Structure 1
Amino acid sequence: MPDNAAAARPGHARPSAVGALPGAGWLLLAVLATGVAVWSMRYGLPVVPQPNLSNFVTRRPALTVHALSASIALLVGPWQFLPGLRARCIALHRALGRTYAVAVLVAWLSSIPIALHAETGAVASAGFLALGAAWIATTAVAVERAMQRDIAAHRRWMVRSYALTAAAITLRIYLGAGIALGIPLTVVYPAIAWLCWVPNLLAAEWWVRRAVPGLQSARRSGARWQSPELD
């Protein structure tokens, strides 16, 4: 899905390729993100269906805040990868970006006490704490790059950030597969705490390098990429 708002400068790779998904890929991502986000918002209800998590019983405020804020980030994210939205309504794009960044900050802070007491113990806790650290770090760098008007770098870091947000999707896919295969929770959950995000981040890194063929040469030459749409 090309971004027609920004033309490539001579000698520079097109930054618009970053963050642009094919139509079917974007639709699948948006559907999965919406489904998981809406389902997760049940933790904000006065009476929660199937409250079968120990963290729900002992740390309900943190779990509720985390579920709601992470759901907002999950919902907002796909719309930031629509080139047409960026081109035609930059004010909305920026507002959604601020909403996403605040939601990630709140979700990360509220995740810490939950991750420290993750189901099945220390390995799962370490996986979720590492996810949180990578999540807030990639989001913070994305915000910093946007404030510096380095839009190409901002888009790359947003791809990485949202790949980590999407751990909410992959976690449920792997958990459902583990249950279907009859693998005990004590075995599958510690692995999922890492598998739900490490492959996502690797895939995001592959994507940004594939989308911007000149990335390595630009780094070697010290070139700074700017998006013409904000010049």
Structure 2
Amino acid sequence: MERVAKLSGSLGFWVVVVTSVLVALASYRFVPLGVEVAMNFVAHNLNGNSLALYAHIAVAPIALLLMPFQFMSGLRTRRPSNHRWMGRAYVAAVVISGIAGFQLAFHTTTGTFATIGFALLSVIWVWTTLGALYFALTRQFARHRDWILRSAALTFAAVTLRVYLGTSMALGAEFMVAYPIISWACWVPNALLVEAYIVLRNQRQPGRAEAVS
């Protein structure tokens, strides 16, 4: 059973790695195709809100691309300086794209419910990431790991949003109905699953030591 648990955990991790990298790379399709073709559902932001739009769609994929590498223990152990520099780049990418995403939330064309969903996502994303940075700088590494997990769950919303959006389109759902639901569904379940994992793990390991990174 222990071997099966380790295998499933490893498989789940690599699914996250592969999907994160693929979505991050695919996000840059707006470079050759243009935003109107590649991301028509946010193209309205080109009229008067283009700086926030490009800050978000160009920088958020960097956070998504770097996120899985923060959990590779081999990299953290053998090349701690690389881990720290990639972590700093991840934090910077989240802060820039999160602030831009917060501004974009107030320009959505799908109503107040979607605005609140995306605005909260942006705020909590930046908050959890800065929390992870704070605990790393103060060498509270157990808490750092918990908070970077919370941040990663919200970074992964970039993947789940595309899954739900593609599924809703395939099912023929009306965009104006589906998108406000997706604005919450893309991140709330992620956050709850990670929080449940953290609680259960901490219950199993109540004396978890503050290991040095």
**TM interval, short-chain normalised:** 0.7 to 0.9
**Contact 2:102-2:123 at 8 Å conserved across structures:** no
Distance apart, 1:225 and its partner CA: 4.1
Output the CA distance in 2 between the equivalents of 1:40 and 1:140.
24
| Cα pair distance change 1:43/1:110, threshold 3 Å | farther
The reply on whether 1:82 has 2:72 as its aligned counterpart is yes
What is the number of equivalent residue pairs in this alignment? 203
* Pairing partner for 1:153 from 143, 150, 154: 143
Stretch of structure 1 that moved more, 60-69 or 147-156: 60-69
2:14 partner letter: L
Change (3 A) 1:135 1:173: same
For residue 205 of structure 1, what is the aligned residue in structure 2?
A: 195
Instruction: Check the 8 A contact 1:174/1:196 in 2, yes or no.
Output: yes
Farther off after superposition, 129-138 or 109-118: 109-118
1:144-179 Cα offsets, whole Å, 9 max, x none, are 100110001000000000100111100011111111
Secondary structure of 2:153's counterpart equals helix
CA distance in 2 between partners of 1:152 and 1:45 (Å): 42
| Structure 2: distance between partners of 1:197 and 1:46 | 28
Structure 2 counterpart of 1:41, which letter?
Y
Percent of aligned positions that are identical: 38
Map 1:1-231 onto structure 2 (within 5 A): 22-45=9-32, 47-48=34-35, 50=37, 51-52=39-40, 53-214=43-204, 217=206, 225-227=209-211, 229-230=212-213
| Residue 61 of structure 1: how far off its partner (Å) | 2.4
1:156 is paired with a residue whose SS is helix
Unaligned runs of 5+ in 1: 1-20, 219-223
SS in 1 for 2:14: helix
**Which one scores higher on RCO, CA 8 angstroms, separation ≥ 6?**
1
Q: Which amino acid aligns with 2:77?
A: A
Counterparts in 2 of 1:43 and 1:56: CA distance versus 1, 3 Å: farther
In structure 1, the partner of 2:4 is none
Contact persistence 2:105–2:118 (CA under 8 A): yes
- How big is the shift at 1:30? 1.2
Equivalent residue of 1:118, what SS?
A: coil
Please list the CA deviations of residues 59-110 of structure 1 after superposition, one character each: whole Å capped at 9, or x if unmatched: 2222111112110000000011111111111111111100000000100111
For residues 83 and 209 of structure 1, the distance between their equivalents in structure 2, rounded to whole angstroms, comes to: 21
Q: Which stretch shifts more, 193-202 or 60-69?
A: 60-69
More deviation in 81-90 or 39-48? 39-48
TM-score (norm 2): 0.88
Counterpart code for 1:144? Y
CA distance in 2, matches of 1:101, 1:45: 27
Q: Deviations over 1:165-205 (max 9, x none)?
A: 11110001111111111110111111000010000000111
AA aligned to 1:27 is W
* Cα distance change on mapping 1:177 and 1:46 into 2, 3 Å: closer
Deviates more, 1:202-211 or 1:192-201: 202-211
